[in-house]
Amino acid sequence: MEKNKTNKKVLSLLGTGHAVTDINQGVLPMMLAFLQPVFALTQLQVGLVTFVFNLSSSVIQPVFGGLGDRFRTAWQVPLGCLVAGLGMALTGFSSSYPVLLFFVLISGLGVAAYHPEATKFARFASGKRKASGMSIFSIGGNIGFAVGPVLASFFFGLAGMGGSISLLLLNGTMAFFLWFYLSSIINTKPAAAASNIMQETKDAGQCSRVLITPPVILLVLIVIIRSCIHFGMVTYLPQYYVNYLHHSEAYAATLTSIFLFAGAAGTLVGGPAADRLGLKNVMIGSMVLLIPLLYLFTITSGFWITILVALIGFAVISTLAVTLVFGHELMPENIGFISGLMMGFGVGMGGVGTAILGWVADTWGLPMVFYAMTILPVIALILTIFLPKK
């Protein structure tokens, strides 16, 4: 009983920390919207800022994860949260474009440091229902990303660009709670329930060798495809309805929000479903649903679009925690590394896929983006079938 209570506290704390850390990812687009006229940035320069952030926050995550697998690096959790907020807070005080790039890089490194180690703690705090526990942890990131733009608008509305300092206060406070509570676990006597979490993280940290097998490669490819669909919808849905169909910005923003919040609900459902039905089965179900949903989106209009957007968001994001746990099962001795590979590299490369969809839009028009996306779950479904049963 005491162990379960401790585990729930750890999951809640890490999930909240995940939300606060990922708020900075949601803040960045709004930050750029305010800074673009200040520095007279071109679209290329704006894109470069986003690229630097994605490179430092996503692609480099396996490095931090591998570090956590070799050594006890619980400090990455509070420090990552703090540095993510510090870097983004300082962007509001940037004196030049190179300085802006540097601060964004720092913030991204904080995000990259937090995720693999926090995921490791969340996994061992999840007990036997690992997919359910990982869903609780993952939903924090979804909420943080969605809340980021709202908080940024509020902070900047109150104090202009100087309002970015609020991010340091927010992340600093969260980092203190993370440090205080995780330190209490580390220093707990072995007889206490909390020590089970630390013992498992210590055992996982004894691995010194990383072996990437074909199933791991397949899983990473599936995550990249899913991320491409995810970011493709978020990126091109507003443009499609505003610039092509000439709807209002408010309508496009509402559809995007519906997509994201339905995805958050999908995360909470996908984890428990995977614990009951199996990880692979839930992944197959997600892809099978996405194929007709994405096709119907291209030929439907009116009220049904809202329903379809919600269902697509639910289906595509429902496997976020599922694929993460699947990776853990494939590489149980390299939890940090595989977490970084799934949540960092896989997601980051999905952003590259979104850029390719942009080329499709420039070449054949915006509607072709959504036709192209209907092919992606078919490919992912075929790859999933070749995964081992989990």
Annotated domain spans of the chain: 2-204, 214-385
d(CA 390, CA 385): 12
- Sign, CA torsion 225/363/28/349: positive
CB atoms under 10 Å from CB of 4, counted, come to 11
Q: Is the C-alpha dihedral spanning 47, 53, 56, 60 positive or negative?
A: negative
What average pLDDT score do residues 74-89 get?
93
Residue 365, phi-psi category: left (phi > 0), alpha (psi -120 to 50), beta (remainder): left
| Higher pLDDT, residue 88 or 54 | 88
Within a 10 A sphere around the Cβ of 118, how many other Cβ atoms?
A: 32
When pLDDT is cut at 50, 70 and 90, the band that residue 284 belongs to is very high
d(CA 298, CA 72): 49
Whether residue 164 contacts residue 87, with contact meaning beta carbons closer than 8 Å, is answered with no
Q: What is the mean pLDDT of residues 100-109?
A: 94
Q: How many CA atoms lie within 13 A of 304 on its CB side?
A: 8
Evaluate if residue 192 carries a pLDDT over 50: no
- Dist CA 390 CA 371 (whole Å): 32
Which pair of structure tokens corresponds to residue 68? 């956590």
Mean of per-residue pLDDT scores for the chain: 84
Average pLDDT value for residue range 300-315 = 92
Mean pLDDT, residues 66-77:
82
**Interval 92-118 mean pLDDT:** 92
Per-position b or e across 295-312, b if 16+ CB within 10 A of its CB: bbbeeeeeeebeebbbbb
pLDDT at 212: 83
Please state the rounded mean pLDDT for residues 67-92: 89
Tokens of 274: 């995977």
Give the pLDDT mean for 174-201.
63
Residue-level pLDDT at 222: 96
Q: What is the spatial distance between Cα 267 and Cα 262, in angstroms, rounded to a whole number?
A: 9
Contacting residues for 52 by C-beta, under 8 A, at least 6 apart: 101, 104, 105, 108
pLDDT above 60 for 200: no
Which fold is adopted by the domain 214-385? Answer: Growth Hormone; Chain: A; (1.20.1250)
Per-residue pLDDT tens over the stretch 343-368? 888 888 887 787 788 888 888 988 99
Residue 207 pLDDT greater than 60, yes or no: no
Q: In this predicted model, which residue has the larger pLDDT, 168 or 242?
A: 168
279 has a pLDDT exceeding 90: yes
Distance CA 272, CA 279 (A): 10
Express each pLDDT in 311-342 by its tens digit: 999 999 999 889 999 998 998 888 888 888 88
What is the pLDDT at residue 3? 54
Q: Determine the pLDDT at residue 171.
A: 96
The average pLDDT across 39-66 equals 82
Helices (H), the chain: 2-39, 43-54, 61-70, 76-91, 97-125, 130-159, 165-186, 195-204, 214-239, 249-277, 279-299, 303-317, 320-330, 335-340, 347-364, 366-373, 376-385
Contacts 24+ apart (CB under 8 A), 365-373: 365/244, 366/236, 366/239, 366/240, 366/243, 366/244, 367/240, 367/244, 367/298, 369/232, 369/236, 369/240, 370/236, 370/240, 370/294, 370/297, 370/298, 371/298, 373/228, 373/229, 373/232, 373/233, 373/294
pLDDT in the model for residue 145: 79
Q: What is the mean pLDDT of residues 267-279?
A: 91
pTM for the full predicted model: 0.79
In words, the CATH class of domain 2-204 is: mainly alpha
More confident residue, 5 or 153: 153
Is there a contact between 223 and 344 (Cβ–Cβ < 8 Å)? no
CA distance 136 to 12: 7
Q: How far apart are CA 201 and CA 303, in angstroms?
A: 49
| DSSP type of residue 162 | G
